[in-house]
A = this chain, B = another copy of it.
């Protein structure tokens, strides 16, 4: 790789570390934070200048905010640049179809067209340049190397190949890593059963998909009397949902499959979206700051919070020439830390992953409730069957939180002769959730198979209060990242 001065960076496609080497780029991954800041600043300045020179959209936005690329003298100056929202991108593409005025490359250099996969609302279009696509492949290969993947490993890519960029990003990284890629793709009826058969047949080293899909796959395998441990998977990595970062879900996946469960993913717009990505030590996603610069910010001021504090990630591309995103507001909720990781990488980390949304935290009778906290608690309870649904209603005068939880097949069998079992389970769930959430939910225990399954991202929250329905309107447009909605706090 060339030094920080040359931008856009050019990587050697033939480069491959020795298999026993821990890091893809040892120097970049272990450099002292101060030294890294200088590296990031150089890339940041190049990116911001690139956008200023090529994008009337950014020029207008920054001029309105009274900032100019020349103001970017220290890394701290970045916070003077206003955050960017997904709604702004959508409005820009509507006003200047089809791609908006932030494409920043010659149309002839576009290698890939993708887009949000929403069924409601106008989708947004992602254009990715040819050189960017190579850099994305390099970035993902590097992060997958950190996950423990090596050349010759077979990667089973279970998620749908279409507009959704998640699958494509893994494929590009896997190709660059010289893995054997098996782009299985989900989405057609009966395909999960076929996935079970192919996994048994090929015994791949790694699996990529969403946590929901992995759990669904395990259920289908069980119904065929197949033990998912017989797939022989070593690494399972995920994006698209927070699940893999939720301790209870991770534990369950690791138990069922006998493989390490790793979390990754920022936002589809931020591809290389793996720049939030765990290493083999699974201590929370590293922020690979030299690829995409992430500031975890106060959700009101959009100033970075101190390490150890909670905030919302604001992302800036450092290697993208096509549709560079500069301070894109995620609206996600996380806590970051700079405490060292055993792997030796010096990147900040998100020890609990991304566990909520600044806009889908449900306030119920004054308590802040995150669906991920409900999931995490349920998964620690013996007798919980794996699927659940949260229903928030205002049918009575007061908000009600209803948690529908399936019990396990084992409980179902035993309940036939022990009718008190279900009552005891319900009480146990109610008490544990009340402790976690600070409010007492109404718990309903449902027979196995009652709740809707998904082959893609699970939607487990139904809010019947009109207030909340509005906030959920953008939920169909999530892609490639653990997100829940579309913030608009700019």
Contact = CB atoms under 8 A, between A and B. Distances in A.
Interface in A103-148: 107-108, 110-115, 117, 119, 123, 125, 127, 130
A194 interface: yes
A187 B184 contact: no
Contacts of A23: none
Interface string A141-167: 000000000011010000011110000
A190 interface: yes
Contacts of A130: 178
14 contacts: A97-B201, A98-B202, A108-B152, A108-B178, A112-B182, A112-B183, A113-B202, A119-B194, A123-B194, A123-B197, A125-B201, A160-B185, A162-B188, A163-B184
Contacts of A125: 201-202
A168 interface: yes
Given A97-B201, A125-B201, A191-B162, A180 B119 contact: no
Nearest to A191: B162
Nearest 8 pairs of A and B residues by beta carbon = A161-B161, A113-B182, A162-B185, A108-B152, A110-B180, A187-B187, A187-B188, A98-B201
A175 interface: yes
A115 B114 CA distance: 25
A181 interface: yes
A455 to B, nearest CB: 9
A7 interface: no
Contacts of A111: 175, 178, 180-181
Nearest to A93: B201
A228 to B, nearest CB: 18
Given A97-B201, A151-B108, A161 B185 contact: yes
User: How many of chain A's residues touch chain B, expressed as a range?
Assistant: 35 or more
Contacts of A160: 185, 187-188
Interface in A78-111: 97-98, 107-108, 110-111
A162 B184 contact: yes
Given A114-B182, A161-B183, 10 more contacts: A111-B178, A112-B182, A112-B183, A113-B181, A119-B190, A127-B180, A162-B184, A162-B185, A163-B185, A185-B185
A185 B163 CA distance: 8
Interface in A44-98: 97-98
A39 interface: no
Interface in A182-220: 182-185, 187-188, 190-191, 194, 197-198, 201-202
A303 B327 CA distance: 67
A107 B178 CA distance: 11
Contacts of A194: 117, 119, 123
A168 B190 CA distance: 21
Interface string A431-470: 0000000000000000000000000000000000000000
A182 B183 CA distance: 17
A388 B239 CA distance: 43
Contact of A115 (B154, B175, B188, B198): B198
A350 to B, nearest CB: 30
A163 B130 CA distance: 25
A125 to B, nearest CB: 7
A455 B97 CA distance: 29
Nearest to A175: B111
A161 B180 CA distance: 17
Contacts of A175: 111
A256 to B, nearest CB: 23
A198 B122 CA distance: 10
Contacts of A201: 97-98, 125
A181 B151 contact: no
A448 to B, nearest CB: 25
A125 B119 CA distance: 35
Contact of A113 (B98, B180, B187): B180
Contacts of A117: 194
A96 B117 CA distance: 42
Nearest to A162: B185
A113 B155 CA distance: 9
A422 B374 CA distance: 62
A184 B125 CA distance: 12
Nearest to A155: B113
Pick from A115, A161, A190, A202 the residue with the most CB of B within 10 Å. Answer: A161
A111 B187 CA distance: 23
A119 B194 CA distance: 8
Contacts of A112: 180-183
A19 to B, nearest CB: 11
